[in-house]
Amino acid sequence: MSTLTFAASMEKSIGINIEKLKDGCSPELCDVLELLAGFQQEYELVLTHAKSLPQEQSPPELEPSRLLGTDENWRKLTGAFLPDTAPNAQDYTVLWSVHSMLDKNAQFYQQASKQSVQPQLRLFFGSVAELKLMLRRRIDGVERVLANQVWKEVGFAPGLLGKE
């Protein structure tokens, strides 16, 4: 199995898992997860297209707005979490899973970039890794909004995702 084939399968699997995580979440987080699931489909399409190209042809260009969304879109999504709302533990723990998936996914692409013999694939995988890290940072922003709600409710900061 080629790296591109595995990567496309991985993106599909992550999308399926994100869909499953919506069960029991707040409507606000469901909107975030819906957006993420759409991005996963876009990644899958890009990787499926890339694996169908002849080896000597460069992989397709990546369109960040299709794979990350816009700043305005993310502002609307995070703004939907009302500041005086009691924190939803389900939402908070779902974000742990999403954060972990995106982090490990980015690590896969970083490693794929290092292991690729073709310069075009090295650049392509490196770019995908950077986009995944940016997507993870967007999720960090949602987590910070929820962490502020937890802080207000329990009286201490619950810690940020990805911090040891």
Looking up tokens 């707005």, which residue turns up? 65
What is the pLDDT at residue 11? 97
How do residues 5-48 score in pLDDT, each as one tens digit?
Answer: 999 999 999 999 999 999 989 999 999 999 999 999 999 999 99
Under 8 Å between Cβ of 33 and 99:
no
| Residue spans of beta strands (DSSP E) within the chain | none
Which token pair is 140?
Answer: 């960090």
The matching CATH number, chosen from 2.60.120, 1.20.1260, 3.40.50, 3.40.1000, for 3-154 is: 1.20.1260
Alpha carbon distances (Å) from 18 to 4, 14, 107, 113, 159:
21, 6, 18, 25, 23
Specify burial of residue 132 (Cβ count, 10 A radius: 0-12, 13-18, 19+).
buried
Under 8 Å between Cβ of 121 and 59:
yes
* Triad 35, 39, 44: Cα angle to 5°: 150
How do residues 45-104 score in pLDDT, each as one tens digit?
Answer: 999 999 888 877 888 889 999 999 999 999 999 889 887 777 788 898 999 999 999 999
pTM here is 0.89
